[in-house]
């Protein structure tokens, strides 16, 4: 029943019938305690992660400057210059075509498989 109370899926009339004062009082007390405990756990997790992030910013200022630059671009406060946009497009194109040698083996295997299928299909239709 306590887990149902955390999820707010319970029958409040049943608690009122159990005790006119003690039922609602214990429900209110339990709800407040659970909310404060969950809230303090949530805040301690956030606080701990902020502390770790703050330490890493001091260790690696390039990451912090990159995040600030992207945030300013995302909000529209700072527009990206045309050369930077073109450089990013060039880098994406290079990454896409850089791995063509890796796909050559795959494409060759696909070609051989297709030739084998055509050859065996031709042999089975002629027999």
Please answer whether residues 57 and 63 qualify as being in contact, where contact means their C-beta atoms are separated by less than 8 angstroms: yes
The percentage of residues in the chain with a pLDDT greater than 90, rounded to a whole number, is 10
pTM of the model: 0.36
The pLDDT tens digits for 30-45 are 888 888 888 899 999 9
Q: Where along the chain do its domains lie? A: 1-79, 84-127
Give the pLDDT score at 58.
67
Residues 63-114 have pLDDT tens digits of 778 888 888 888 888 887 888 888 888 888 877 775 666 678 888 888 999 9
The average confidence (pLDDT) of the chain is 81
Taking alpha carbons only, the member of 54, 46, 9 closest to residue 38 is 46
Distance of alpha carbon 26 from alpha carbon 65, whole angstroms:
51
Q: Which two tokens stand for residue 99?
A: 């791995």
DSSP string, 66-84: HHHHHHHHHHTSSPPPHHH
Cα separation, 48 vs 46, in Å, equals: 5
């Amino acid at each position: 029943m306590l887990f149902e109370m955390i999820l707010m899926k319970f029958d409040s009339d049943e608690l009122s019938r159990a005790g006119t004062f003690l039922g609602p009082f214990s429900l209110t007390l339990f709800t407040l305690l659970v909310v404060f405990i969950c809230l303090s756990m949530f805040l301690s997790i956030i606080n701990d992660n902020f502390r770790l992030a703050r330490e890493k910013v001091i260790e690696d200022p390039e990451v912090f400057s990159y995040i600030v630059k992207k945030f300013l671009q995302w909000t529209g406060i700072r527009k990206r210059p045309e050369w930077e946009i073109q450089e990013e497009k060039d880098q994406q194109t290079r990454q896409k075509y850089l791995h063509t040698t890796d796909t050559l083996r795959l494409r060759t295997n696909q070609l051989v498989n297709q030739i084998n299928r055509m050859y065996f299909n031709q042999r089975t239709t002629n027999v």
